[in-house]
Chains A and B, each alone.
Chain A
Amino acid sequence: MTDSAGQGRGSGLRLLLTHALLILVCLVILLPLLWVLRVSLLPPSLSYSTDLSAPLSLVNFESLFSGRFPRSYLNSLVVATGSVLLALPFAAATGYAFARFTTGGAVARFSVLATQMLPPVVIALPIFQMFQTLDLSNTLTGLILAYAALNLPFLTWILMGFFKGIPVDLEWAAMTDGATAWGAFWRVVLPVSLPGLAAAGVLGFILAWNEFLFALILSGPNTATIPVALAALQTSNGIQIGDVAAGVVLAVLPLMIASRFIQRFIVEGLTLGSVK
């Protein structure tokens, strides 16, 4: 009895310590974000104030919306969504081929991965030159194409892993049931892979949403995306920290929604119950 009580006390203490540590780690991660949130809601004159009772206001958001920011926000949405929609079908096809067949061998698989190892700046200049020639720089189409190309290897790799996890028996069953190889892919593999496609799509969206270097090089004032627009708030009069904070808060919003989405889909695991 005393033993178990002692044990209870010991484990209680351990629980307390564990939680204290976890809370500390959470604060390390969350504090900067909370700080950004607070700054976004303070008038610019109080941006650096440590007074916790300072009055809140939406003046930063108002100033942001009176400028080019809404345009940039829309640009980002169009570019990120467009690039994912463009890249996903190709990534799905390539990923499926890599997962099911020996297509291209190890060389093709490695080269797809290798493109991710290059520092982006290495391809930034050639792309800039190419887009200049094709009259694509300073257009949203250009950015969509560039991001689709950047996303393609990454999405291919993710989807390859996902397709590998789908039992080949399912396709075999569909094929003996009368489907062509394409029919088996379209009617069975694709519906079963929807969670994977959604997850990959969201990750690609985030990648495009946050990309800065290519956006900076390939966009102009009318086609700037959020990261570029935020960077532009650093003016000769100093950084407009209130506006930046408000912009960051708005920029993070779709990502938060997206990650909720992704989580639900990944956890769901649609293949459950198909085999065994």
Chain B
Amino acid sequence: MASIELRGVSKRYPNGLYGVRDIDLKIRDGEFVIFLGPSGCGKSTTLRLIAGLESVTSGDLLIGDQSMVGVPPRDRDVAVVFQSYALYPHMTVAANMAFGLKMRKMPRREIATRVDRAADLLGLSHLLTRKPAALSGGQRQRVALGRAIVREPKVFLFDEPLSNLDAQLRAEMRLELVKLHRRLGRTIIHVTHDQIEAMTMGDRICIMREGRLIQSGPPLEVYANPVDTFVARFLSSPPMNLLPAHLEVDGDGLTVKLGEAIRLAVPERHVPAYRAVAGRPVTFGLRPEDIHEQPPAPTQQGFEVQVVALEALGAETNLVAQPTASGALPEITARLGRQARARTGETVTLYPDLLSMHLFDPETGAVIPRPPLDAPR
């Protein structure tokens, strides 16, 4: 069992580029943490730094209160499941799983017991004598997982292990990994670029971009309170709507002006926080699920849009629409219920739920802070 701590960890390559930069992060013992970000953001590099497969250039890295700088991977007691699975092709499934235990000179009988137990847990018992080439993708993935489990390491590091599976298998494995975490209670770091994995699996999400850790927190908290437009857009699909706007003083209150004609009153509870940026251009952000066909409150203002496209997903309908007001506004997306009535080409009125609105600095993209809403609302 082990906590992990990164103190100002950077990885700089000989060509001067940074893989990761100044990462400060504390992971509690037994926590399930997700590293999320687009490809090339440094999440896999961070994982390899923790595993010891790459060396830290500056900063300190601790596993269970012990500095790991200069400690080889074999002495860190971590297990990695690679995106490619990296099964040893010349060994059988059983030998693959036993390899780590053999390296640690465990008695043969104990090895057999552990391999059998893990194979049982993962439904691999009938495949133990096969070579990896004779397995399906899902089976290989399980063997890779089994190879990690038998060692009973302090820390599990998963490097996008689900990305090569088909959608259905991925959903099943997602659930199994969560169950596994609950059963083993070990610290897990799971790297992914998949928002659904990020939202559903972990206790905490760490969002990375260009080698830096930009936000970390419980999934719903990060979802409800993104620190900038990048996080706001990255964490959901379809992403948050971002519209150029102007914040204007309106008596005691504030009004968001979109384009030339759309004026939306800022809810009273947000007014104190936003008053400081009144009179300035801002980026107005609203998630697709916070836009409705019916007004959420009788007094709620709406605005007219022309429907560009409809994606009926069964449980919900994504509506892409162009605001009809003048002022060159971008298209917006609304996530409506199954019974969405709008049709492509029609002009309809949509009602934003402004309690969930966000404002961002149009230049830096940083959020203009307001008191968080209770998550989930």
Q: A residues near B, CB below 8 A?
A: 102, 167, 169-170, 172-180, 183, 187-188, 191-192, 194, 270-276
Contacts and interface: CB of A to CB of B under 8 A. Distances in A.
Interface stretch (B20-28, B61-69, B83-91, B248-256): B83-91
A172 B78 CA distance: 12
Given A167-B86, A173-B82, A272 B53 contact: no
A275 B86 contact: yes
Contacts, number: 92
Contact of B78 (A176, A183, A194): A176
Contacts of B151: 177
Given A270-B90, A273-B132, A167 B84 contact: yes
A178 B53 contact: no
Residue of B86, B135, B151 with highest tally of chain A CB at under 10 A: B86
18 contacts: A167-B84, A172-B48, A172-B86, A173-B147, A175-B52, A177-B99, A177-B100, A178-B74, A178-B100, A179-B103, A191-B90, A273-B140, A274-B86, A274-B88, A274-B133, A275-B82, A275-B86, A276-B84
Nearest to A172: B53
Interface in B73-123: 73-74, 76, 78-80, 82-90, 99-100, 103-104
Judged by DSSP, the binding face of B is: loop
A180 B51 CA distance: 14
B345 interface: no
Contacts of B88: 170, 173-174, 188, 192, 274
A167 B84 CA distance: 9
A192 B99 contact: no
A167 B99 CA distance: 18
Contacts of B135: 273
Interface of B: 14, 48, 51-53, 72-74, 76, 78-80, 82-90, 99-100, 103-104, 131-135, 137, 140, 147, 151, 164
Contacts of B79: 176-177
A175 B84 contact: no
Nearest to A173: B86
B84 A178 contact: no
Contacts of B140: 273
B85 A178 contact: no
Nearest to A190: B90
Given A175-B53, A175-B74, 9 more contacts: A167-B84, A169-B84, A172-B82, A172-B86, A173-B86, A173-B88, A177-B103, A183-B103, A275-B85
B134 A273 contact: yes
A178 B153 CA distance: 11
Contacts of A175: 52-53, 72-74
Nearest to A191: B90
Nearest to A170: B86
Contacts of B99: 174, 177, 187
Contact of A276 (B51, B85, B103): B85
